[in-house]
Amino acid sequence: MTVFQSFPYSRRQLLALGLAATALAMAPGMSRAQSYPDKPLRLIVPFPAGGAADMMARGMALRLGTELGQQVVIENRGGAGGTTAAEAVARAPADGYTLFFATMGTQAINPALYAKLRYDPVKDFAPVALTHTTPRVLVVGAAVPARNVGELIALARRKPGTLTYGSAGNGSSSHLSGALFEALAGVQMMHVPYKGSAPLLTDVLAGRVDMTFDSYTVYEEHIRSGRARALGVTSRTRLGALPDVPTLAESGLAGYDVSNWLGVLAPAGTPKPVIDKLNAALVRAMATPELRRQLIALGIEPASSSPEEFAQLVRSEIAKWRGIVRQSGAKVD
């Protein structure tokens, strides 16, 4: 005779036991997320100290630290177009204590520029938030006779291949901004790469190079003094600091839109509760009235986004810059 032993638990009781077991398994991770952060954070900046990106990072880090109740320490790792810094973050522990101040260059331009990039701009990072956008300004030296973009294009057509535009380096966003200008205006100019904005500024003011597509913060005092002239803004809309200077699209180059963007990434695999906590803190930090006033006065637009919105921006920008880099012929081995 077969004997059936009745099971002591009902289906409802089993479900309750399963949910309890799941909660116990998740408890350590939830506890860590709730206590995060309990020590200082590192924000790796892919440029040397003293530049515009470093300045933006420090202002943001100060307020982010206030929001999180922990210090955010800046670590500058310049060189190799930002690839050194990006690789370091991609390989860092995914615990929310190492963050990356990523740029359009490191995440969208480098994939098209470097034949062998040692990080994946999408798969190796967890987006946290977009934080800054920095439209570039087309600046000419005082000796250049053009007073607006139309006159500059006419001058370039009269002297093909002789007008020079400087950039912060081959394949940099300032180089590619100039390449896009050439393509849309139907002109040929000579690209002169520099190692950063400082030596380029010196040569623009001295008349050794005719123009550049650079950050307003670099040329602000010289535009005000008349030693350089701003002919156009590279973004879709005018710059708050230069309301009377038209965009390049307004000036006849339909479709011209270049705004360098910066934001915070974490290593891929960082827990979502940590990402969400960082995102909320960054959104509050970038909304600080004092910080917003400081940035806007320098021609920098404070921004914010959800992690998902930032991820979408990165993907769309990778596709956009792949075509521009291909057209420019720029390559870095």
Residue 74: give its domain's CATH number.
Answer: 3.40.190.150
Domain membership flag for residue 5: no
125-141/301-302 β-pairing? antiparallel
Q: Which domain holds residue 287?
A: 39-134+259-328
Domain membership flag for residue 30: no
Domain membership flag for residue 21: no
CB atoms within 10 A of CB 32: 15
* Residue whose C-alpha is closest to residue 175's, from 161, 156, 154, 189: 189
Per-residue pLDDT at 25? 53
pLDDT interval class at 30 (50, 70, 90): low
Query: Whole-angstrom Cα distance, residue 245 to residue 166?
Result: 21
Percentage of the chain with pLDDT > 90? 73
Cα 94 from chain centroid (whole Å): 21
Task: Say yes or no: 81 and 219 in one domain.
Answer: no
Bridge partners of 135, per DSSP, are: 259
Query: Whole-angstrom Cα distance, residue 215 to residue 80?
Result: 20
Task: Say yes or no: 128 and 180 in one domain.
Answer: no
Cα 22 from chain centroid (whole Å): 39
Task: Say yes or no: 193 and 105 in one domain.
Answer: no
Task: Say yes or no: 126 and 144 in one domain.
Answer: no
pLDDT tens per residue, range 89-113: 999 999 999 999 999 999 999 999 9
3-class secondary structure, 52: helix
pLDDT interval class at 251 (50, 70, 90): very high
Query: Whole-angstrom Cα distance, residue 241 to residue 180?
Result: 24
Given 184, 216, 233, the domain boundary residue is: 233
pTM given for the model: 0.81
pLDDT above 90 for 198: no
125-141/211-215 β-pairing? antiparallel
> What angle do the packed helices 52-68 and 216-225 form, to 10 degrees?
120
Query: Whole-angstrom Cα distance, residue 44 to residue 99?
Result: 6
| Average pLDDT over all residues of the chain | 90
> What angle do the packed helices 272-286 and 289-297 form, to 10 degrees?
70
What is the chain's alpha carbon radius of gyration, rounded to the nearest angstrom? 24
End-to-end CA distance of the chain: 81
Helices first, then strands: H and E counts in the chain? 12, 10
Burial of 326 (0-12, 13-18, 19+ CB in 10 A): exposed
Could you say which DSSP state residue 265 is in? E
Given 198, 233, 268, the domain boundary residue is: 233
pLDDT above 50 for 155: yes
Per-residue pLDDT at 327? 79
Task: Say yes or no: 130 and 140 in one domain.
Answer: no
Task: Say yes or no: 107 and 49 in one domain.
Answer: yes
Instruction: Summarize the confidence of residues 39-62 as an average pLDDT.
Output: 92
Could you say which DSSP state residue 239 is in? B
Per-residue pLDDT at 147? 97
